[in-house]
Amino acid sequence: MIAPMDAPSAEAQIAGFLAKYTPAIEAQLREARMRLQAMFPRGYELVYDNYNALVFAVSPSERTRDAFLSIAGYPRWVTLFFLGGAELDDPEGLLQGEGKQVRGLRLKSPADISSRAIHALVEQVVAPRRELLATAPALKTVVKSVSAHQRSRRPTEAK
């Protein structure tokens, strides 16, 4: 599908998505995204401005089902998700979740992505996709979906 000439670029759309957050969470999302882009110079960055969160997923193709790692921005934190994380060896017990496939961890800081323990988890999830990523094009950002109805991206005040 070809975008209309007046359609905003992916980066312009993303700037609008990020602007919905507090400056602190926006900065964390920007830095976490930058770190993932540096780790994966080839493949696709799939963007979803969903009901609950803004998600940046890494995939060797434009297909959602091929995504294997993502960051998601919530009103108070940023989470790193491993699709297929339920199968990962996690000796430090970092991954949270009870689902059949996905596990995640809240980032205290985007720099956590570069920690030894998280790097080991990333290596595990990348291993079966290494060849696909090597043959993928230079990283391309694709806005996959924007939900019409969304929860507030800013924290609500406690009552």
> What tens digit of pLDDT does each residue of 87-133 get?
999 999 999 999 899 999 999 999 999 999 999 999 999 999 999 99
Predicted confidence (pLDDT) at residue 3 exceeds the cutoff of 70 = no
Domains and CATH numbers, the chain: 10-144 (3.90.1150)
Cβ 153 vs Cβ 73: under 8 Å: yes
Instruction: Encode pLDDT of 19-61 as tens digits.
Output: 999 999 999 999 999 999 999 999 999 999 999 999 999 999 9
How far is the C-alpha of 67 from the C-alpha of 44, rounded, in Å?
A: 9
Taking the CA atoms of residue 123, residue 140, residue 79 and residue 36 in that order, the dihedral angle to the nearest 10 degrees is 50
